[in-house]
Amino acid sequence: MLKQQAQKHQRFAIKKLSVGVASVLIGLTFMGVSSVSADTDTQSAAANQSAVVNTANGAQTDDQATTNQPKNEETSVAANKSTASQAASQNNATATPAAENNSTHAAETKAPDYYNVTVNFHDVTRGGNIQVLNRNTGRYEYKQPYQTTVWAGRNTYQIFKAPIAGYQLLNPEVLDQYFDFDQSGYATVKQGYPEQNISVTLNYAVLSPLKVEYIDTDNGHVLASMELPSYYMVPESPAHKNGDVKSPDASKYEGAAINIPGYQLVSEPVLTGRIDGQTQNSLTDKNYIHLTFKYKKVMDNAEATTTTPGKDSTGAVIVNKWSNLPGMFVVRGVYGLKNSEDGNGNVEQRTQDLIDRYKKQGFSYIGTTNKLFNDDYYNFYATGTYIYLIPNKPVQVNYVDEQGNKLADSDTLATNAANPDQTNQGINSAAYWNPAGEWTAKPKDIHGYHLVKTEGATDGEFTAYQYVTNFVYAKNPEIVDPNDPTPDQPTDPTKPTDPTTPTTPTTPTTPETPGNPTTPVNPGQPGVVPGTNQPGQPVVPTQTSKQVTPAKDSHNAQQLPQTGNDNQAAVLGLGMGAVASLLGFLGLNKKREN
């Protein structure tokens, strides 16, 4: 029966998602809701299935129990336990007092015939029970404690150390106190264990999510980033650790570079890894698994405004809503078969074809969780493979002044020439056609302003986050037209300054002593007065200068001599002498005529 159960096929659909923010889904799972689905025909040996378990009150069904035990096998155990209990009751009813004492003494030293086993599953990251995906409903549910009754020496048909998607078991050693494990990981109660009731609490921590980051290698600034959750992936199985290469290995993942305008990729375009058990430190400290892609700035412009500077920042966060894209396919498998077998074909090529298809339609490929490779053996512990394809966003072009004020209407650039239907320039999000290809932004001529700076690239390829280019302008200086008849506006008068304190007058210097007057020259011979025989009077020269005694003012201050007055007297004297000479000359001429 167990062999037949193991041969049933399990299948998972490869999903294409347009978002991957772990915090969103974690919030939903707390409410018992999940937007993730997994297609499955049946459940594998490690899948959740109904099981009949025994408790003190009898048998019950636990839909959340993780068990490899078929229903009829568990029912048989319950029936055997009931028969054994009845036989023990009959023996006790017919026993003598001495026999009862002997039986009691033997019970103190003899191991129980069967054990009541309880295993609890505690989430140390979120608190409460861990959350598991119900493969039948596609919803996450809280995992209830596993309870069973098992005969001594019988296999529990449980792999208690089996990986659980999204978690890492922290204390597997606690199981070693009660159980022995075979190569496949199945548990059997230790022989001779004295306690009949076994209760174990297994502590699990949430696996660390992936952080895909795109950074500027020159300054360490994060240009963009996206978070990919890990709760579909699993660590390495116990059987694989023990050397069974056909048993599930740890889940693998992949991250990819994207187009960033103004930058050139200088690292590998694809990074891969496998889950190694790294877990979150707390709900807020996610202890990311980093996939870092390095870029070098190739534009002269300043960084785009969508870029958040700072080495530890998240940059332009890439987010969107959850949705399944058309074209997903199913991968089937069982233990011992590779992913390329069981009719799955070339899984790697089929996956790449999907990625290429949606890149053409305007999506950016960010990465894959639980990535499938053809030669890997089927992992029936993982709950699905998810390809993260993010719809590209339009480019926004702004025209602003140096204070960020809008000077002209912004432009939105969005085209996809690959779409046969070029209505709306090939953009049709309802049909999964988004912006793709090259774009170019140009500045506008704005009256009264001139371009002074450009923030962001002016060309590039559409990418997974909103890219913004800013053209920054400054106001032109005012130019006065000399022919403009408009008079200038009067300016406000300036405030008069306070008068300064007058300086003290200086004491006048002592005047120089005037020189002695010069002796006048002898006058010429007098002429005859016209009309008479009397000689003319000689011209008496005027005094050319005289000494002037300066007057004293009321303050006894000395004054300089008034030389201007002497000069005037001398000029007057010379003038009178000249007139007299002229008259004498005229008189002489008249006498001669007579």
* Mean pLDDT confidence for 253-268: 97
In the DSSP assignment, the letter for residue 46 is: T
Report residue 315's pLDDT band, with 50, 70 and 90 as the boundaries.
confident
pLDDT digit string, tens, across residues 484-499: 666 556 556 666 666 6
Tell me: the pLDDT tens digits for 518-551? 544 444 444 444 454 455 444 444 444 444 444 4
Distance CA 15, CA 507 (A): 110
**Mean pLDDT along residues 296-323:** 79
Other Cβ atoms within 10 Å of 14 Cβ, number: 22
- Comparing 515 with 238, which gets the higher pLDDT? 238
Can you read off the two tokens belonging to residue 229? 């959750």
**250 and 274 Cβ atoms separated by less than 8 Å:** yes
Q: What are the tens digits of pLDDT across the range 371-404?
A: 999 999 999 999 999 999 999 999 999 999 999 9
- In single-letter form, the type of residue at position 173 comes to E
What residue segments make up the domains of the chain, in order of their start? 47-158+167-206, 210-474, 527-538+571-594
Close Cβ partners of 280 (under 8 Å, ≥ 6 residues apart): 125, 205, 206, 207, 208, 209, 286, 287
268's CB contacts (< 8 A; 6+ apart) are 257, 293
pTM, whole model, 2 decimals?
0.65
Residues 455-475: tens digit of each pLDDT: 999 999 999 999 999 999 999
DSSP code string of 1-13: -HHHHHHS-EEEE
The mean pLDDT of 362-375, rounded to a whole number, is 97
pLDDT of 16-67, one tens digit each? Answer: 444 333 222 222 222 222 233 333 333 333 333 222 222 222 333 333 333 3
pLDDT over 70 (residue 100): no
Query: Containing H/E element for 30?
Result: helix 22-30
Instruction: Give yes or no for a contact between 169 and 206, defined as CB atoms under 8 angstroms apart.
Output: no
Residues with Cβ < 8 Å from 535, sequence gap 6 or more? 526, 527, 528, 529
